[in-house]
Structures are given as C-alpha cells and as structure tokens.
C-alpha cells in the first residue's frame, strides 16, 4: 500500500518521538535533578583579650557556585527582625549560636561564602566593639566578609560553624576610632569533622627567669601576655607569632589560632580552649610574652617561651582532648 506523503511524514515523526523518549531525551521527568541537603550555619568565637563586647549584625549569607546563580539565605532574626545581632564574646570556644537553620540547598562545592554585615556604612550602628575606650564602630569594607569555599556533602542534614578568631580578624585602626573586621582568621567548619582542645597551665610558668625575668611589670604580674599558640602539623621548628600573609613576609610557620590563658586566682591554674578544630595533627606552644602580638605584622616573638613548653597532639572527629602544660622540675619560683 502506498502512503500519502503527509501520512508518511506523520509516522516518521511519531517514530522519532518514540526513540527520543526511550533514550530519555524528551521526558522532562527524566532530567536529573540536583541532590539537595539541609544546612545550618552557626557562629562562634575564639577568645580575644582586647575587648569586652564584639557585636556584629548579620542579615544574609550568600553562597557562590561556579556557573550557577548565587544562593542567598536570610539570617534568622529575633522577634521578626530581618537581621541577627550577635555578641561573639558570648559564644567562645565550643559554644555557638545559630544564624541560619535547616535551609535546603544543592549539594556540591561552593566557591565562596559571603557574610553580609550591617555596619555604619549602611546607616546603622548595629555592629560595634566595646573596649576600654567605650563603644567603637565596627566596619566591614563593602559590608561583605568573603570567607572562601566549602563543600556540602550528600548527607541529608549538615551543620557548619563560622569560627571567628578575633585575635586575628579584629583590627583596630591607627587612631583608635574604629575597628575593622577582616576575613583573616575566620573559617568555615563542618561540625561532623571537628574536635576541641582544652588545657591547663600552672601560673608558675610565668615566673621563670627565662620568661618574664626577675623584675615584673604590672602587666606581667597580671599575666596578660600568657597565650597558647596552635599550629597545624608536627615536627615544626620555626614557630611564628600571629601575622597576616598579605601584610608580612616570613618563613616562620603561622599559627592556626591562639588562645589567652585565664587564671583562677585561688588555685593558680590557668585554662584555655580551642573549639571547632579540623581533624589532624597539631603543635601547641605556650608563651608568657605574647601580649603585644600584632595580628597583621610578624613580630618575631619567642615561641615557645619557656623553650620547652611544646606539645604535639592528634585530633579525631568529635574528640574533646585535654592538654596539660607542666612546670619543669628544676624551676625556682620567686
């Protein structure tokens, strides 16, 4: 039987459509959908010794993916507010507070996380520092703190903590009229792959002649220079003080973080804590002469001080490890 041209074309079109459907080419339901996961973001602070309050107003978190539209997550405000004002000094060590909770986003690698901050440049005084001079404005250039990349895995629910090491990221300008917040020292950490270190230091370490010397200034008597520095890796020989690699040039190993030591006036035992540390190997070093460590410039401080106060540890996920610095047996305490 001979088919009319119109009928033959119609059959050919139908056959082609069947082939495409069999290959998944024309069925919208067969288009691969991105895998999704719920994420939460909290903020925490590594202790800082130079301020009484560090208040930051967050209003959005922006997530950047290569070749994709940016994802903007609104911060969970209180009492219907469109922003969240947080005093970071209230959430030190392993403490944290949620600013974004259970938001559904695609899994995969994100090139950048940008914290949107309300400061004086937005016409508000919601971000500020309280120090010995009173309340000082806190400014973030462009109102955006760009923190770099992170990965959202296939787990259905994931929690991240944005850890502020304020001793590195909080910088006072030269005339003391304003604080600036820098991304240096601010890290994004997956809570499923972090650990915590807590430790103690005897106050007698500050009295060693090789440390503060025989004559003590008022500052030394208050032990304001006592810190523990934390470095990633072991077997390190050149331990540096805090510095911003964009501001200083040195071959010394930069610390991952540092923590001030707070002494109990009755027992004479000092305590320190590092929260939200990635798993791996670390070196801890004590110094009692680090109170004037400039977070931007390399100061060539002696670390450790005394020279034998170094410890090495290995951290695994979920671990809370305790480190104890001890007084050398031959030490003479004044």
* Residue 77 is assigned to a structural domain of this protein: yes
| Per-residue pLDDT at 216 exceeds 60 | no
Question: Is residue 179 located within the same domain as residue 205?
Answer: no
Q: What Cα–Cα distance (Å) separates residue 74 from each residue in 62, 64, 147?
A: 9, 15, 17
Question: Is residue 176 located within the same domain as residue 287?
Answer: no
Burial classification of residue 162, based on how many CB atoms lie within 10 Å of its CB (0-12 exposed, 13-18 middle, 19 or more buried): buried
Cα 45 to Cα 137: distance, rounded to the nearest angstrom:
19
Question: Is residue 107 located within the same domain as residue 209?
Answer: no
Segment 139-159 shows an average pLDDT of 89
Question: Is residue 239 located within the same domain as residue 115?
Answer: no
Q: Please tell me which residue, 157 or 252, carries the higher pLDDT value.
A: 252
330 pLDDT tier (thresholds 50, 70, 90)? low
DSSP percent split of the chain into helix, strand, coil, nearest 5: 15, 40, 45
Cα 52 to Cα 55: distance, rounded to the nearest angstrom:
10
Segment 59-64 shows an average pLDDT of 96
Cα 239 to Cα 16: distance, rounded to the nearest angstrom:
70
**∠ Cα 124 130 133 (to 5°):** 115
Question: Is residue 168 located within the same domain as residue 232?
Answer: no
**∠ Cα 208 213 219 (to 5°):** 100
* Residue 289 is assigned to a structural domain of this protein: yes
* Residue 126 is assigned to a structural domain of this protein: yes
Q: Tell me, what CATH number does 270's domain have?
A: 2.60.40
DSSP 301-314: --SSBSTT-EEEEE
Domain limits at 255? 196-324
Question: Is residue 170 located within the same domain as residue 212?
Answer: no
Question: Is residue 124 located within the same domain as residue 47?
Answer: yes
12 pLDDT tier (thresholds 50, 70, 90)? very low
Question: Is residue 87 located within the same domain as residue 108?
Answer: yes
* Residue 15 is assigned to a structural domain of this protein: no
Among 146, 162, 183, the domain-final residue is: 183
* Residue 190 is assigned to a structural domain of this protein: no
Summarised one tens digit per residue, pLDDT across range 103-124 is 999 999 999 999 999 977 676 7
* Residue 153 is assigned to a structural domain of this protein: yes
pLDDT for position 22: 40
- The encoded tokens of residue 171 equal 């910088």
Question: Is residue 166 located within the same domain as residue 227?
Answer: no
Question: Is residue 65 located within the same domain as residue 137?
Answer: yes
Cα 302 to Cα 132: distance, rounded to the nearest angstrom:
28
* Residue 189 is assigned to a structural domain of this protein: no
Question: Is residue 128 located within the same domain as residue 62?
Answer: yes
Segment 247-251 shows an average pLDDT of 88
Domains of the chain: total: 2
Among 183, 213, 238, the domain-final residue is: 183
Alpha helices in the chain (DSSP H): 5-22, 166-169, 218-221
Of 194-203, 213-222, 286-295, where does mean pLDDT reach its minimum?
213-222
- Whether the CB-CB separation of 65 and 110 falls below 8 Å is answered with yes
* Residue 330 is assigned to a structural domain of this protein: no
Question: Is residue 254 located within the same domain as residue 177?
Answer: no
Among 183, 213, 246, the domain-final residue is: 183
Other Cβ atoms within 10 Å of 156 Cβ, number: 11
Cα 333 to Cα 204: distance, rounded to the nearest angstrom:
7
């Amino acid at each position: 039987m001979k088919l009319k041209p119109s009928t033959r074309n119609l059959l050919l079109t139908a056959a082609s459509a069947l082939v495409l459907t069999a290959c998944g080419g024309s069925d919208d339901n067969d288009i691969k959908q991105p895998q999704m996961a719920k994420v939460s973001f909290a903020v925490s602070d590594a202790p800082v010794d130079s301020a009484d309050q560090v208040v930051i107003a967050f209003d959005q978190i922006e997530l950047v993916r290569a070749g994709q539209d940016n994802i903007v997550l609104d911060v969970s405000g209180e009492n219907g507010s469109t922003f969240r004002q947080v005093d970071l000094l209230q959430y030190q060590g392993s403490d944290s507070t949620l600013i974004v909770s259970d938001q559904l986003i695609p899994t995969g690698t994100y090139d950048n996380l940008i914290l949107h901050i309300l400061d004086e440049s937005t016409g508000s005084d919601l971000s500020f520092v309280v120090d010995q001079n009173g309340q000082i404005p806190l400014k973030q250039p462009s109102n955006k703190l760009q923190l770099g990349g992170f990965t959202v895995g296939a787990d259905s629910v994931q929690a991240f903590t944005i850890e502020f090491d304020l001793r590195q990221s909080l910088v006072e300008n030269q005339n003391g009229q304003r604080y600036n917040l820098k991304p240096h020292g601010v890290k994004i950490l997956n809570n499923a792959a972090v650990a915590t270190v807590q430790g103690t230091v005897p106050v007698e370490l500050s009295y060693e002649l090789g440390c503060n010397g025989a004559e003590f200034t008022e500052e030394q008597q208050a032990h304001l220079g006592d810190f523990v520095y934390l470095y990633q890796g072991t077997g390190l020989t050149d331990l540096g003080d805090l510095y911003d690699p964009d501001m200083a040039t040195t071959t010394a190993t930069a610390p991952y973080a540092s923590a001030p030591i707070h002494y109990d006036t009755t027992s004479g035992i000092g305590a320190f804590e590092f929260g939200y540390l990635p798993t791996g190997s670390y070196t801890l070093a004590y110094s009692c002469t680090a109170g004037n460590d400039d977070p931007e410039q390399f100061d060539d401080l002696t670390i450790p001080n005394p020279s034998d106060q170094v410890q090495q540890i290995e951290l695994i996920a979920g671990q809370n490890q305790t480190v104890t610095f001890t007084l050398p047996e031959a030490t003479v305490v004044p």
